[in-house]
């Protein structure tokens, strides 16, 4: 998919998936914008309208959700008229939901769609869906305590449903032109312009677009990456996998063993089922023995046998909707930038789904990139800020990719540990499995192996704990700790606002908050008081198009006026929130301690800390950090 952004003043945002959403800054403008939607479906007219509107542009190829604030004219080009129906991603992690919230992209509505918390909070290990349950683990952090670390608990929703939600935002935005059925053909760039040649797939006709920047989100086999000759670090694996997309009502089959994932141990169907919707849509993923069953030889009947085997009963009706082979490998591009062209999402990095990290990583890529591009378009930052994109995001993608491969290798080794590995006779392999499970010592080993998978299914530190600029990956995927260091996501704490705000606060700061409070009433364990206490997060203080200074009440020495004057001179919007005056911490007192003792933090538009304000700070040091980041 490819997008061009024009005339941009304040842009920002989250990417991933397949569409780009661009939104005007103000509600009034948004309403006016909605009225101006051009109903034309004529691609030529869309392209020519876009060309006429273009002042400065940026093009994005691929499959990305970008949300751009204010007047940014963008062109998105998607190769296919419709997305694949196969669901792929389901786990939308806390960070992605925090990003959707920051950009008011309907995170509350997304939570109402998809898989319920009850249905999705476990991972089951079974011989097959009807027979023996061998173990169960929690699926990611869905306990109420996780809300001490994030305002947004993970949510599971099939990728097409999420993409549809985001496309609804795009459809309403007159700053975005989305054309489908076009494919990238060639790309070239000068210092200030990217020229893309795109092919209309139906007619073979070529068109050219010119833009200032281009973000390529064209997936794992990215044509843009290929055209630019960007190589990737990868570990090839000869392990071929098969995804079978099927439709069945599994609820009566699984009974009370509901869960997001079902790992099937039976060698007839060893692999896992993602239960996107237990009443309907599922996929089964398994390793393929290509010696015995080359992928070309697969038939629908073979898929049916796998699904029957994983269900464990012959009388459960189901339909095979599709089946598709893929290779289990990780791949991370050596750079995510070539001049004014950027790679994001799977185009930049792809890894196996064992971890549920791919789509989430792509969204965070664009969250990191978009505000930087916006600042360059507005003339606030020089293009040197753009080189921080690879520097910051590549390390995160690398750690995600390695964790996903590690998870996959360990869990498939576990499936093979039931004395079934290398046994070609499936009936014999099944007997071995049953004998192994009947043997107390062997069963204990299997149960310990399942216990060893906990980290695989709890990635909170990977989701919200990474630090841009860190030289080492997080030591453990699950062990999240809040960090008040430059590069870290601003730690979350629940906050409240005084009933009476000063007129200045009301007018300026409040307008940068999301329109609606967080709603945690979906946590059945919470009483009304607890729900009321969890309405606003420290992350809400950070508007997507502003910089945020959070200060402790006792911070006296820091020269705020100096910083304010500087920001206003260079065109940076700065919001200052003072603990005790402008907001209170509701629960997590450690946040207050950090801010009070450390003085405060200056936070970037993507909610990551730029600099700490110390008690000794005179303002000049913070200004120097800001200027360094902006490249001025």
Ligand X SMILES: Cc1cc2nc3c(=O)[nH]c(=O)nc-3n(C[C@H](O)[C@H](O)[C@H](O)COP(=O)(O)OP(=O)(O)OC[C@H]3O[C@@H](n4cnc5c(N)ncnc54)[C@H](O)[C@@H]3O)c2cc1C
The residue ranges that bind ligand X (CB under 6 A) are: 1-2, 16-18, 61-64, 77-80, 88-91, 159, 183-184, 217-220, 223, 243, 283, 345-347, 353, 356-360, 362
Q: What is the DSSP string of 35-68?
A: HT------HHHHHHHHHHH-SS-EEEEES---EE
* DSSP alpha helix (H) spans, 439-559: 440-451, 460-464, 503-504, 528-533
* Secondary structure (3-state) at 162: helix
Helices (H) and strands (E) in the chain, counts: 19, 31
Q: Which of 283/576 has CB closer to ligand X?
A: 283
Q: 574-578 and 67-69: which strand pairing? A: unpaired
Kindly state the smallest distance separating residue 365's Cβ from ligand X, in Å: 9
Compare residues 278 and 357 and give the one whose CB is closer to ligand X. Answer: 357
Q: Find the shortest distance in angstroms from Cβ 16 to ligand X.
A: 5
Pick 343 or 385: Cβ nearer ligand X: 343
Report the nearest approach of ligand X to the CB of residue 17 (Å). 5
**How is 512-543 classified by DSSP, letter by letter?**
GS-SS----TT-TT--HHHHHH-SEEGGGGS-
- Cβ 526 to ligand X, closest distance in Å? 26
Q: Whose Cβ is closer to ligand X: residue 169's or residue 577's?
A: 169
The token duo for 621 is: 């040091």
Task: Classify residue 414 by its DSSP letter.
Answer: H
Residue bearing tokens 């670390």 = 149
Nearer to ligand X, 179 or 493 (CB): 179
Shortest spacing between CB 92 and ligand X, in angstroms: 7
Buried b (16+ CB within 10 A) or exposed e, 237-270: eebbbbbbbbebebeebbeeebbbbbbbbbbbbb
* Residue 601 Cβ vs ligand X, minimum distance, rounded to whole Å: 28
**Which of 410, 201, 241 lies closest to 328, judged by CA?**
241
Cα→Cα distances 451→132, 134, 357, 454, Å: 17, 11, 21, 6
- Rank residues 15 and 599 by Cβ distance to ligand X and give the closer one: 15
User: Looking at beta carbons only, is 62 or 495 nearer to ligand X?
Assistant: 62
For the stretch 194-199, contacts whose Cβ atoms lie closer than 8 Å and that sit 24 or more positions apart, written own/partner, are 194/57, 194/58, 194/59, 194/339, 194/340, 194/341, 196/2, 196/59, 196/61, 198/2, 198/77
**How buried is residue 404: exposed, middle or buried, by Cβ count under 10 Å (0-12/13-18/19+)?**
buried
**Closest distance to ligand X from the beta carbon of 463 (Å):** 10
Q: How far is the CB of 274 from ligand X (least distance, A)?
A: 6
> By C-beta, is 90 or 377 nearer to ligand X?
90
Phi, psi for residue 159 in degrees, rounded to 5: -50, -45
Q: CB under 8 Å to 32, separation ≥6 — which residues?
A: 24
The answer to whether the CB of 576 falls within 8 A of the CB of 455 is no
Nearest approach, Cβ of residue 184 and ligand X (Å): 4
CB of 351 to ligand X, least distance (A): 8
Alpha-carbon span 380 to 570, nearest angstrom: 6
Our CB check for ligand X shows the closer of 437 and 464 to be: 464
Are 73 and 5 a contacting pair, CB within 8 Å?
A: yes
Q: CB 493 → ligand X: shortest distance, Å?
A: 26
* Burial (Cβ within 10 Å: 0-12, 13-18, ≥19) of residue 472: exposed
Kindly state the smallest distance separating residue 93's Cβ from ligand X, in Å: 7
**4 vs 588 by CB, closer to ligand X:** 4
Minimum Å gap between C-beta 5 and ligand X is: 16
- In 3D space, the residue among 3, 19, 24, 20 whose CA is nearest the CA of residue 71 turns out to be 24
Between 76 and 523, whose beta carbon lies closer to ligand X? 76
Task: Give the residue among 615, 612, 611, 602 at the shortest CA–CA distance from 575.
Answer: 602
Considering beta carbons, is residue 268 or 357 the nearer one to ligand X?
357
Cα angle at 616 between 614 and 617, to 5 degrees?
Answer: 65
Q: Which is nearer to ligand X, 148 or 200 (CB)?
A: 200
């Amino acid at each position: 998919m490819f997008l061009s952004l024009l005339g941009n003043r304040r842009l920002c945002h989250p990417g991933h998936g397949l569409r780009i959403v661009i939104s005007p800054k103000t509600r009034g403008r948004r309403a006016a914008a909605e009225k101006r939607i051009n109903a034309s479906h004529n691609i030529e007219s869309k392209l020519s309208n876009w060309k006429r509107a273009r002042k400065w542009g940026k093009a994005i190829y691929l499959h990305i959700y970008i949300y751009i604030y204010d007047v940014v004219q963008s062109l998105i080009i998607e190769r296919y008229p419709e997305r694949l129906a196969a669901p792929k991603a389901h786990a939308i992690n806390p960070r992605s939901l925090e990003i959707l919230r920051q950009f008011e992209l309907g995170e509350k509505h997304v939570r109402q769609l998809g898989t319920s918390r009850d249905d999705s909070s476990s991972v089951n290990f079974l011989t097959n869906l009807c027979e023996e349950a061998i173990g169960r683990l929690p699926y990611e952090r869905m306990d109420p305590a996780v809300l001490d670390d994030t305002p947004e608990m993970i949510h599971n929703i099939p990728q097409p449903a999420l993409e549809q939600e985001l496309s609804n935002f795009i459809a309403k935005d007159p700053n975005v032109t989305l054309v489908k059925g076009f494919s990238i053909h060639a790309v070239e760039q000068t210092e200030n312009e990217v020229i893309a040649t795109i092919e209309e797939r139906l007619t073979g006709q070529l068109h050219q677009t010119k833009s200032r920047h281009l973000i390529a989100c064209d997936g794992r086999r990215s044509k843009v990456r290929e055209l630019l000759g960007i190589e990737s670090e990868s570990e090839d694996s000869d392990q071929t996998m098969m995804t079978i997309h099927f439709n069945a009502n599994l609820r009566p089959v699984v009974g009370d063993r509901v869960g997001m994932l079902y790992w099937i141990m039976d060698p007839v169907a060893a692999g896992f089922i993602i239960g996107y919707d237990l009443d309907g849509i599922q996929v089964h993923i398994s390793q393929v023995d290509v010696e015995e069953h080359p992928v070309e030889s697969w038939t629908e009947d073979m898929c049916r046998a796998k699904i029957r085997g994983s269900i464990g009963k012959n009388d459960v009706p189901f339909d095979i909707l599709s089946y598709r082979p893929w290779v289990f490998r990780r791949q991370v591009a050596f750079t995510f930038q070539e001049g004014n062209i950027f790679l994001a999402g799977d185009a930049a990095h792809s890894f196996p789904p064992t971890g549920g990290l791919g789509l989430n990583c792509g969204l965070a890529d664009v969250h990191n990139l978009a505000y930087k591009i916006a600042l360059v378009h507005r003339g606030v930052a020089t293009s040197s800020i753009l080189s921080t994109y690879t520097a910051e995001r590549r390390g995160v993608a690398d750690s995600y990719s390695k964790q996903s491969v590690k998870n996959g290798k360990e869990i498939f080794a576990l499936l093979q540990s039931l004395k079934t590995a290398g046994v070609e006779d499936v009936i014999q392999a099944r007997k071995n499995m049953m004998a192994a499970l009947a043997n107390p010592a062997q069963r204990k080993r299997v149960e310990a192996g399942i216990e060893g998978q906990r980290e695989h299914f709890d990635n909170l530190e990977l989701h919200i704990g990474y630090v841009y600029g860190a030289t080492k990956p997080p030591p453990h995927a699950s062990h999240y700790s809040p960090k008040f260091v430059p590069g870290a996501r601003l730690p979350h704490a629940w906050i409240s606002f005084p009933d009476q705000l000063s007129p200045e606060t009301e007018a300026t700061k409040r307008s940068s908050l999301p329109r609606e409070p967080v709603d945690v009433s979906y946590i059945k364990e919470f009483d009304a008081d607890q729900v009321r206490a969890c309405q606003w997060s420290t992350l809400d203080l950070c508007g997507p198009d502003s910089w945020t200074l959070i200060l402790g009440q006792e911070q006296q020495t820091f020269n705020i006026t100096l910083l304010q004057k500087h920001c206003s001179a260079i065109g940076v919007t700065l919001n200052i929130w003072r603990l005790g005056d402008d907001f209170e911490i509701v629960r997590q007192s450690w946040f207050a301690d950090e801010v009070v003792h450390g003085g405060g933090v200056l936070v970037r538009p993507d909610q990551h800390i730029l600099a700490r304000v110390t008690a000794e700070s005179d303002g000049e040091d913070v200004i120097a950090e800001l200027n360094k980041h902006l490249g001025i």
